Amino acid sequence: MTAVEFIRHVEVKLNRIDSSSYEDIRPEEVIFFANDALKSLTLAFDIGAYSPLLDEFAIKTYLAYLYEVQEEVVVTDNAFTLPSEVFKFKDMEAYVEIGTEKEWCETRFLDNIENSGRESNPFLRSFADSPIYRLISKKVKFEVTNFIVTKARYEYLKYPEVITEESSLDYIFNSELEDKTVTLILENLEGRRLASQPQVSRT
């Protein structure tokens, strides 16, 4: 399926809902939301959230195309920056040095919500055999106490290929991509209409 055909399919689905409301959707708008839809579906597929009607092997093949392993990166001051192609950070090992001991260890992710009781909670503390890391704006920062992290290796998904008006879309989930694109367009348009409504005084 070409991108032009994909756009027509999306327009048909929109017009079935209400031709007078969605007849002015431009092709570039469809492409814009199609890219967001592809990212959303990719994240869903990665956690196994897809229709049982889809071929599981084909979905795994699609994800394998995006899957990468970074064998080893140098960590400076217990931190390093991810490359721009990282779409979803999946798993990581850290090379920990404590005294004369050096070893690859599993890591734990900690969200960026402040927790005043973290130091007293053993499940939230960072240990040499399972260092905690935070991920902020593509930067991985290890929380260390009496040890250092000098290297890391990790797995990730790359961003899906960008859809343009010249693209050829041969995904097994083209129908799902169309439906998700339609949903995003509808949500955006309805949100815009609600925001443009005059405010009613409550007094």
Q: What is the pLDDT of residue 144?
A: 92
Per-residue pLDDT of the chain (203 residues; tens, 9 = 90+): 999 999 999 999 998 887 666 777 899 999 999 999 999 999 999 999 999 999 999 999 999 999 999 989 999 999 999 999 999 999 999 999 999 999 999 999 987 665 555 556 666 788 899 999 999 889 999 999 899 999 999 999 999 999 999 999 999 999 999 999 999 999 988 755 444 444 443 33
The dihedrals phi and psi of 119, each to the nearest 5 degrees, come to: -65, -30
Q: What is the pLDDT of residue 25?
A: 86
**CA-closest candidate to residue 151, choices 40, 71, 91:** 71
On whether the CB atoms of residues 144 and 97 are closer than 8 A, the answer is no
**Three-class DSSP labels, 51-67:** CCCCCHHHHHHHHHHHE
Q: What is the pLDDT of residue 164?
A: 96
Q: What is the pLDDT of residue 4?
A: 95
Structure tokens at 197: 């409504």
